[in-house]
Amino acid sequence: MTAVAIVALLTAGWFQGTSATAPVRTATIKGRVVRADGRALARVRVRLMISQSGPPLVTETDLDGQFEFNSLRAGTYTLAASKPGYVDVEFAQRRWPGHGQPITVAVGETRDRVDLVLPRTAAIVGRVVDEDGEPVEGAGIAVLESRLASGRRRLVPVQAAGGRTNDQGRFRVYGLKPGRYYVSATVGQTDFIPSNRDLPGYAPTYFPGTPNPAEAQAVALGLSQDASGIDFAIVPMRTASVSGTAFQADGAPVVGGLRLVSSQRSGLAISMNARIDPDGSFEFPNVAPGEYVVQMFKSRPNTYTEGEFASALVTVSGANVTGLSLHAAAGSTITGRITLDGSGTIRPNGVELVLTSIDADLSSPESGATRAEIHEDWTFRLAGISGPRRLRVVRTPAGWMVKAIFVNGIDVTDTPLPFGTRDQSLSDVDVVLTNRITQVSGTVTDARGDPATDAMVVAFSTDRDRWYPESRFFDAARIADGKFTLRGLPSGDYFVVAIDEGSDWQEAALLDLLTTRATRVTLSDGQQTAVNLKVTGR
């Protein structure tokens, strides 16, 4: 028996066409999903997507691992399979991270043997004890990756990978893809009950037993390879409490949204919630020595307005820190207009204007950028803004790019601007778009001279002062059929180079390395240029 996809009925606007005018739906894609050992894998969720947007068609494999999508329009599809406990795989994917190959079907065509192998995810297994070798129950276990965050290399928790030690001190963190990981254990914090103090006197400890993240030892996981024996002892250290009072912008005591996080200036990855009293006093118990920031924030009321915010940098070194005083600011307002340099019939909804953060300690930790509300008359508005920021146009209609951003006639295109108070509000911001856009395009070949796959092309300014997070002097493009195109880089001198997909390439040390094998390109306003690149590996 073969499972057949049932076209979605749940989401508005997605109906299977049945009228005479509907395009012909006669193509079929079918195949089989197996384990690494070749045995059939049942109940695998198989998704078929015709484009990035829109809901995928979904089906499930039968007991023989077979799946089939029929009544398809001709076109190019991507196909992916997933099952809890297994690594998500796209059709013909060979690397992790990476991408598979698209599947193209013609009218009436049946594409058979679209087969996939699902490898199991890997796990890290170990045990946490105290200084006397007794098991520690309930220690929070985080699996971390060394990642570039806000321009610094830090240990960042892997999403949805974590857990707690059991009564024997044992942990098993599973669902991991191949990679290099770090493991930390934390006691003294109970996630769900912030008002509860827990065992004091231990530093967050990294495998193989150090409080210093720089001394943490990486655990390398191959595909479907478990790492066991990740046993370590938590390190006793004098912990202290951090306390104070916090008030909202309207003067009322804080009720929530108060956390202590390790400062961007440190290499730690700690985040804890406060215990808060009705009068606005708060306390974070059991804080190990380190550099932190206390952040008070509210969620954003809409996409163009940030919630109120306050922060205080704190250094803890064993003694209690008391008397912190936080008063949230309602933030600054930014208004202005978008001007078009050149003629064309583009509409404001094709433009996305955001604020990037210069210092994550001093801006709201809410995920996702704040996007300007752009009106039909090209005026725009941002509100509730706090912290040092840059204005950045991240999306333009095809054929347009940003030329410059002015405040009261002064060019601030790449200048950090301070926000937080009403005085720091801006009301005369002019964002100029031009249709004279730059373009760098070309071909990429591998060592044998064939069109490259599983690689991407990056371009970065030759000026190191332009190397900061979310710089517009950085750009990257995926390679399709051995070709790439980068559009809309500002004029200037660039290095262009092909590298492996999925790497953290925007790190200064890596960029320095890349300069040695990159091709140098000079772009003037509106210039279009071509380069041919070779994949040389990292």
Binding site for another protein (CB under 8 A): 5-14, 42-43, 45, 47, 55-56, 58-60, 63, 84-85, 120-121, 123, 130, 132, 134-138, 166-169, 172, 174-175, 195-200, 255-256, 275-279
d(CA 202, CA 211): 9
CB of 362 vs another protein, minimal distance in Å: 27
CB of 193 vs another protein, minimal distance in Å: 11
CB of 530 vs another protein, minimal distance in Å: 42
d(CA 459, CA 485): 11
Contact in structure between 377 and 469 (CB atoms under 8 Å): no
- Closest CB to another protein among 123 and 221? 123
Helix (H, G, I), strand (E, B) or coil at 182: strand
CB of 126 vs another protein, minimal distance in Å: 14
- Closest CB to another protein among 161 and 432? 161
- Closest CB to another protein among 188 and 442? 188
Q: Which residues of 274-310 are buried (b: 16+ CB within 10 A; e: fewer)?
A: bbbeeebbbbbbbbbbbbbbbbbbbebeeebbbbbbb
CB of 37 vs another protein, minimal distance in Å: 13
d(CA 533, CA 459): 12
d(CA 417, CA 34): 54
d(CA 166, CA 172): 10
d(CA 330, CA 248): 9
CB of 430 vs another protein, minimal distance in Å: 39
- Closest CB to another protein among 167 and 465? 167
Contact in structure between 334 and 315 (CB atoms under 8 Å): no
- Closest CB to another protein among 213 and 244? 244
Q: Is 482 left (phi over 0), alpha (psi -120 to 50) or beta?
A: left
CB of 155 vs another protein, minimal distance in Å: 24
CB of 313 vs another protein, minimal distance in Å: 27
Positive or negative torsion for Cα 398, 403, 405, 408: negative
Q: Which of 484, 408, 85 is nearest to 417 (CA)?
A: 408
- Closest CB to another protein among 28 and 166? 166
- Closest CB to another protein among 196 and 491? 196
- Closest CB to another protein among 232 and 380? 232
Q: Where would I find the beta strands (DSSP E) of 342-487?
A: 352-357, 373-374, 379-385, 389-395, 401-407, 410-411, 426-434, 439-445, 455-461, 474-478, 483-487
- Closest CB to another protein among 55 and 502? 55
Give the side-chain half-sphere CA count within 13 A for 421.
Answer: 2
- Closest CB to another protein among 47 and 389? 47
d(CA 35, CA 269): 36
- Closest CB to another protein among 307 and 490? 307
C-alpha angle 150/153/158, rounded to 5°?
Answer: 90
Contact in structure between 48 and 82 (CB atoms under 8 Å): no
CB of 31 vs another protein, minimal distance in Å: 17
Residue 514 CB neighbours (<10 A): 19
User: Got the DSSP string for 295-355?
Assistant: EEE---SBTTBPPPEEEEEEEESSS-EEEEEEE-B--EEEEEEEEEES-----GGG-EEEE
- Closest CB to another protein among 175 and 526? 175
CB of 272 vs another protein, minimal distance in Å: 16
For 2, 67, 113, the CA distances from 29, given in Å and listed in that order, are 12, 9, 8
CB of 42 vs another protein, minimal distance in Å: 6
CB of 411 vs another protein, minimal distance in Å: 45
